[in-house]
């Protein structure tokens, strides 16, 4: 069969335009495609909640791809082992309670779970601002193409509406900092020293609605709270993503 190049181009433009229009209003927008955002998205999607994951980079996976110092392995502790099982991620027990898995497999399986759960992905898309109107809630995201941001071009953005936003942007806690920068009473303390045990224990407590309509998860939750960092152990990221999904589902009555 000969192939029509214009049909190929038209298929992509038409399909992605349809998806973008469909997601101009959604239940939950997850900002950041690292482990916490992916776990959260997959578990929200499994509950039939309409959600999209917005990732500024070309590839999904955030800091999980790199494992520990570019060794593509991650460690997950006992408390989160059931989530490795849930997502079908293989692991080996290195020492009692310390499980080691391939970071490539972990990212791939989490991403596949989110895709299977009906989550839409908008990659190469940067969240540059949020929408807050009269009710004082974060009710939408201001987005632009990452290459536009990188080139410093003056191109105005689009806005997507959502009932809840999840800040899963990792160390930088980007969405929280955007809200803080507007002179609100939200204060982002910044992450503390390396202390894995404490960081991993406290992350669930920090996974919460930090501003009306805005929930923070993963490393961003610890960064907002001034909590410690943990290095390449990822159980807390998965548990925090799961907790954020449960919290938002409950608020949505689902
Ligand atoms: C769209 C954005 C924007 C934006 C950033 O860093 P991540 O992997 O985040 P977590 O919290 O799921 O996982 C943290 C983990 O990877 C880690 O770094 C750990 C455990 N560190 C411990 C330590 O001691 O160092 O992913 C965040 C994602 C990235 O993919 C960014 O590209 C993306 O968010 N992102 N997406 N719009 N404005 N800002
Ligand atoms: Fe990190």
Q: Output the pTM of the full model.
A: 0.98
Cα–ligand 1 centroid distance for 1 (angstroms)? 44
Of 50, 1, 9, 6, the C-alpha closest to 30 is: 50
Q: In the beta sheet, which residues pair with residue 164?
A: 28
CATH topology of domain 31-134+141-251: FAD/NAD(P)-binding domain (3.50.50)
Which residues are annotated binding-site positions? 36, 55-56, 63, 127, 154-156, 171, 219, 229
Q: Dihedral through CA 233, CA 236, CA 239, CA 240, nearest 10?
A: -140
Pairwise CA distance, residues 51 & 25, whole Å: 9
Question: Would you say the CB of residue 165 lies under 6 angstroms from ligand 1?
Answer: no
Ligand 1 atom closest to residue 219's alpha carbon, by position in its atom list: 11
ipTM of the complex: 0.99
User: Residue 61 and residue 36: Cα distance in Å, rounded?
Assistant: 10
Q: Which two tokens stand for residue 77?
A: 């502790």
CA atoms within 13 A on the CB side of 192: 14
Distances (CA, A) of 228 to 80, 163, 190: 19, 30, 9
174 ligand 1 Cβ < 6 A? yes
The response to whether residue 220 sits with its C-beta less than 6 Å from ligand 1 reads yes
Q: Tell me the two tokens of residue 5.
A: 């190049």
- Report pLDDT digits (tens) over 200-243: 999 999 999 999 999 999 999 999 999 999 999 999 999 999 99
Summarize pLDDT for 13-32 with one digit per residue, the tens: 999 999 999 999 999 999 99
């Amino acid at each position: 069969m000969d192939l029509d190049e214009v049909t190929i181009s038209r298929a992509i433009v038409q399909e992605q335009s349809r998806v973008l229009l469909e997601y101009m209003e959604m239940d939950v927008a997850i900002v950041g495609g690292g482990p916490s955002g992916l776990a959260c998205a997959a578990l929200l999607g499994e509950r039939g909640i309409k959600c999209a994951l917005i990732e500024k980079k070309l590839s999904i996976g955030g800091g999980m791809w790199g494992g520990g110092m570019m060794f593509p392995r991650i460690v997950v502790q006992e408390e989160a082992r059931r989530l490795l099982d849930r997502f079908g991620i293989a692991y080996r027990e290195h020492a009692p309670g310390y499980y080691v898995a391939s970071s490539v497999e972990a990212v791939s399986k989490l991403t596949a779970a989110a895709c299977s759960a009906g989550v839409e992905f908008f990659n190469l898309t940067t969240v540059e601002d949020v929408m807050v109107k009269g009710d004082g809630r974060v009710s939408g995201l201001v987005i632009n193409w990452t290459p536009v941001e990188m080139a410093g071009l003056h191109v105005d953005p689009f806005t997507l509406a959502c009932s809840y936003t999840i800040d899963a942007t990792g160390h930088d806690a980007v969405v929280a900092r955007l809200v803080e920068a507007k002179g609100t009473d939200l204060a982002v303390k910044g992450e503390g020293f390396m202390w894995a045990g404490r960081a991993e224990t406290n992350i669930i407590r920090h996974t919460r609605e930090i501003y009306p309509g805005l929930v923070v998860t993963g490393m961003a939750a610890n960064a907002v709270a001034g909590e410690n960092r943990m290095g390449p152990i990822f159980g807390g990221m998965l548990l925090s993503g799961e907790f954020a999904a449960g919290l938002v589902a409950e608020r949505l009555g689902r």
